[in-house]
Chains A and B, each alone.
Chain A
Amino acid sequence: MEALLLSRWQFAITTVYHFLFVPITLGLSIFTALLETCYVRTKHSGWKPVCKKLTKFFGTIFLINFAMGVVTGIVQEFHFGMNWSEYSRFMGDIFGAPLALEALTAFFLESTFLGIWMFGWDKLSEKAHCACIWLVAFGSNLSAFWILVANSFMQHPVGYAVNNGRAEMTDFFALVTNPYVIGEYSHTLFAGLATGGFVVLAVSAWKFVHDDGSREAFRQTLKAGAVYMLIGTLGVMGTGHMHAQYLREGNPMKLSSMEALWETENPAPFAIVADINQDAGKNDFEITIPALFSFMLYNAPEGEVKGINDLQKEAAAQYGPGDYRPDVTGLFWSFRIMVGAGGLMAAIAGLVGFLTFTGRLEKFGFVLKFLPWLLPIPFVANSVGWYIAEGGRQPWIVVGLQKTAEAVSPNITSGEVWLTMIGFTVIYLLLAIAALYAALRFIRRTNVTQAEGRNG
């Protein structure tokens, strides 16, 4: 049993760590591609070399991040078989396909063209070189699609039949068009833009303050980054709202747990804070806004929302006795952290955008000085977001089909998993330090000045 708990921890640690890098890859790949497009298209002789330097500058940050994403991603692919062999056995007919498609259509594309992009500056025409980074960006964002197709099946199984003791695919098209994918993918994509945008803002702000020679170049990326991040943040909010409305039918247990709504109510209130008592199936204390939860789900001040206790009864009737509730406290607070972080990010992007576009940056320099310290915000939001997604489907590994406890590899011992879990954690910590050191050193030492001077 201990191997199960440790395997869950190991997967949680490695997957959250992996997802520190993924959103930067998603967002920064597109941003770098946009920068290079500016470089290729601009006719302005003063800006052209600056655009090129900026492309290489953000491209290098992207590359360090990409390397971290790739190596931690391989761990995740191996993990399914190593620690969760019974899951892979039960689900392989369905889950393997998007994974293989991800490798075939996306990994090859991004890895190959990134190699060409990195070393091909003097070997390709400007346009061909720029096309390479666009293919990288396309490949990265396509890979996110496939893995979320796979993940969405775990959240909301469609297009399958259970035969021969396993889940078998009956409709590939249903798998790919799973309504759950639409919410998850769009939410992740915009989270990538927002995170990538925040990285651009934080780096640009630091350079703007500390590197006088590069100031004008980074004034432009502050503008671009603020817009980019604002689009991302607003997109995250919109798609999150849409996805939560969908959860009403897609996964009501997760939805009500996020809001710690124990009893079915119409209209349902929204709890701002709650002292959750999972054992008793109620909140010992709460501050609520009447009808707001219903309003968020129905766009109207009324509408029934099922409570956790009723959903638990339904699940027990359907699947047999057992506790089918996720960790309500964790979900409730994670959701509030995520939403709070999202709101904060929108405000930051809006503020920086306002200051840059109205030419007030110099006057409010302290904002830029402070900005790099806020960089953890999107990563906190991304991590708790995944906690909601994955914690919210517990005790299931595939909702309604297989429980997490049934999925673990039977032959691995707790000693083995202790060893690998500590091993991964230590290596990941050391790598984070090394990569951060390399990235910061690079950012500090690289100047993006106009070669020609005066112009611009």
Chain B
Amino acid sequence: MMELNVLWFVLITVLFTGFFFLEGFDYGVGGLLPFMGRTDEERGMIIRTIGPVWDGNEVWMITAGGALFAAFPHVYSTMFATFYLALFLMLVALILRGVAFELRGKADCLCWRRFWEGCIAFGSLVPAFLWGVAVTNLIAGLPINENMHYLGSFWDLLSVYTIVGGLTFLTVFLFHGAAFLTQRLGDYGLVLRAKEYALKTGAAAIFCFVLCFVLTATKTDLFHSLPAALLLVLTGVCFIAGYLAMARGKFKSSFILSSLAIVAVSCSFFTGLFPRLMVSSISPAFSLTIDNACSTPYTLSIMTVAALVMVPVVLIYQGWCYWVFRHRVTGKDLKAH
């Protein structure tokens, strides 16, 4: 039977992958909002595509954090303290974004609405970038000592590699968001505009990804693991295929392929990390692994039961939610609310 800490490594992977896939398009849509929507009504429709689902999607991140806390408390502790100021910035962004969805419609004044739209964009672009920085930092390794304490400062988190990582996440999510919009908007003119933005951001994403791929090969040991390397190649293949599909107007395939690319890159990253969760750049012995950072088998067994029961239930009702809102968004939907 599989060891529970291995199972939890897999579950953490699943939660983060779900988060990147779902919030990926939320961040993308949010980031594109002020550029793509030219009128108040257009922006209303763009927001409405994620209106009913973004909060549920964000819970994937909260659950991933909670699961990390429960299953690998040392990783949770070290990671959150390490990324202190970066997380503060992310929290500010998420606070503004979350409140903006609710407050935007509460006054007619255009400046009020544009302000909150700006908050949605800021609150989407910043976390998208920061997650890329975080992920590349984790795989590249951080100065962590034998007590699992981070020895660097905020600025040590920023390097060429991690900034490229951030930009890659950002541009990929923007493409993903644009592809999502082609599936959700009812106005064909807007769909075509989403395509335009997808092609622009997609081209930037491919450029960033290639850079990131090369840097990953040189700066990390991800390619020591064959499955991780293959998954990263698969990411590139899916994404470029998705880009080409977008260019040829095959929107649905494009969205599916960009989703697959995000799933693949998340799996590649976790596979490359395994069995570590945080890599120490000081000594491999100081890395946080599924063995030295995990909870007791007792706690893990309780959490396993809960996760195996609850995750499918959550998937069912979140799936139902998407089904309820399966019709494309039109101007009529704005009046109904």
Tell me whether A1 is interfacial, beta carbon within 8 Å.
Answer: no
Residues of A within 8 A of B71 (CB): 96, 100
Residues of A within 8 A of B88 (CB): 82, 419-420, 423
Shortest Cβ distance from B95 into A: residue = A71
Partner of B59, one of A80, A81, A86, A108: A108
Residues of A within 8 A of B306 (CB): 100-101, 104-105
Tell me whether B324 is interfacial, beta carbon within 8 Å.
Answer: yes
Q: With A419-B85, A435-B99, A438-B106 known to touch, is A124 a contact of B310 (CB < 8 Å)?
A: no
Question: CB distance A411 to B151 under 8 Å?
Answer: yes
Residues of B within 8 A of A119 (CB): 48, 51-52, 325, 333, 337
Give per-residue flags for A76-110: 1 if the beta carbon is below 8 A from chain B beta carbons, else 0.
01101111011011011111110111111101110
Residues of A within 8 A of B299 (CB): 93-94, 96-97, 168-169, 172
Q: With A78-B87, A93-B299 known to touch, is A99 a contact of B77 (CB < 8 Å)?
A: no
Tell me whether B252 is interfacial, beta carbon within 8 Å.
Answer: no
Give per-residue flags for B66-95: 1 if the beta carbon is below 8 A from chain A beta carbons, else 0.
111111011011111111110110011011
Residues of A within 8 A of B333 (CB): 119
Query: Shortest beta-carbon distance, A437 to chain B, in Å?
Result: 8
Tell me whether A351 is interfacial, beta carbon within 8 Å.
Answer: no
Residues of B within 8 A of A439 (CB): 106
Question: CB distance A74 to B91 under 8 Å?
Answer: yes
Residues of B within 8 A of A72 (CB): 95
Query: Shortest beta-carbon distance, A372 to chain B, in Å?
Result: 19
Query: Shortest beta-carbon distance, B64 to chain A, in Å?
Result: 9
- Which has the most chain B C-beta neighbours within 10 Å: A81, A411, A439? A81
Of A23-31, A61-69, A268-276, A385-393, the segment with at least 4 beta carbons within 8 Å of chain B is: A61-69
A122 to B335 Cα, complex, angstroms:
11
Question: CB distance B106 to A116 under 8 Å?
Answer: no
A83 to B81 Cα, complex, angstroms:
6
Residues of A within 8 A of B295 (CB): 92-93, 96-97, 169
A48 to B335 Cα, complex, angstroms:
21
Q: Which of A397-456 contact B (CB under 8 A)?
A: 409-412, 416, 419-420, 423-424, 427, 431, 434-435, 438-439, 441-442
Query: Shortest beta-carbon distance, A245 to chain B, in Å?
Result: 31
Question: CB distance B106 to A120 under 8 Å?
Answer: no
B interface, size bucket:
35 or more
Question: CB distance B76 to A92 under 8 Å?
Answer: yes
Query: Shortest beta-carbon distance, A168 to chain B, in Å?
Result: 5
Q: With A74-B94, A112-B318 known to touch, is A96 a contact of B76 (CB < 8 Å)?
A: yes
Residues of B within 8 A of A78 (CB): 65, 80, 87, 91
Tell me whether A170 is interfacial, beta carbon within 8 Å.
Answer: yes
Partner of B53, one of A68, A115, A427: A115
Residues of A within 8 A of B303 (CB): 97, 100-101
Shortest Cβ distance from A105 into B: residue = B310
A91 to B295 Cα, complex, angstroms:
10
A416 to B63 Cα, complex, angstroms:
27
A71 to B74 Cα, complex, angstroms:
25
Tell me whether B230 is interfacial, beta carbon within 8 Å.
Answer: no
Give per-residue flags for B31-54: 1 if the beta carbon is below 8 A from chain A beta carbons, else 0.
000000000000000001001111
Query: Shortest beta-carbon distance, B115 to chain A, in Å?
Result: 9
Question: CB distance A115 to B52 under 8 Å?
Answer: yes
Q: With A96-B70, A438-B106 known to touch, is A104 a contact of B310 (CB < 8 Å)?
A: yes
Q: With A112-B318, A168-B299, A427-B95 known to touch, is A70 a contact of B87 (CB < 8 Å)?
A: no
Tell me whether A278 is interfacial, beta carbon within 8 Å.
Answer: no
Question: CB distance B87 to A111 under 8 Å?
Answer: no
Partner of B103, one of A64, A80, A92, A95: A64
Q: Which of A90-148 contact B (CB under 8 A)?
A: 91-97, 99-105, 107-109, 111-116, 118-124
Tell me whether B192 is interfacial, beta carbon within 8 Å.
Answer: no
Shortest Cβ distance from B73 into A: residue = A92
Shortest Cβ distance from B57 into A: residue = A111
Question: CB distance A75 to B95 under 8 Å?
Answer: yes
Give per-residue flags for B298-309: 1 if the beta carbon is below 8 A from chain A beta carbons, else 0.
110011001100
Partner of B76, one of A88, A122, A424, A441: A88
Q: Which of B89-127 contact A (CB under 8 A)?
A: 91-92, 94-96, 98-99, 101-103, 106-107
- Which has the most chain A C-beta neighbours within 10 Å: B54, B151, B154, B295? B295
Residues of B within 8 A of A92 (CB): 69-70, 73-74, 76-77, 295
Question: CB distance A438 to B85 under 8 Å?
Answer: no
- Which has the most chain B C-beta neighbours within 10 Å: A80, A82, A113, A441? A82
Q: A88-B73, A100-B70, A119-B337 are in contact. List 20 more A-B contacts (CB 8 A).
A: A67-B99, A68-B99, A71-B94, A71-B98, A82-B84, A88-B80, A92-B69, A92-B74, A93-B73, A93-B295, A93-B296, A96-B68, A100-B63, A101-B70, A103-B62, A169-B295, A411-B151, A416-B84, A423-B92, A424-B91
Q: Can you list 9 A-B contacts with CB-CB less than 8 angstroms, sorted by A residue number?
A: A66-B102, A68-B99, A74-B95, A92-B73, A104-B311, A108-B59, A108-B310, A118-B51, A119-B48
- The 4 tightest CB contacts between A and B, nearest first, are A92-B73, A81-B80, A96-B70, A96-B69
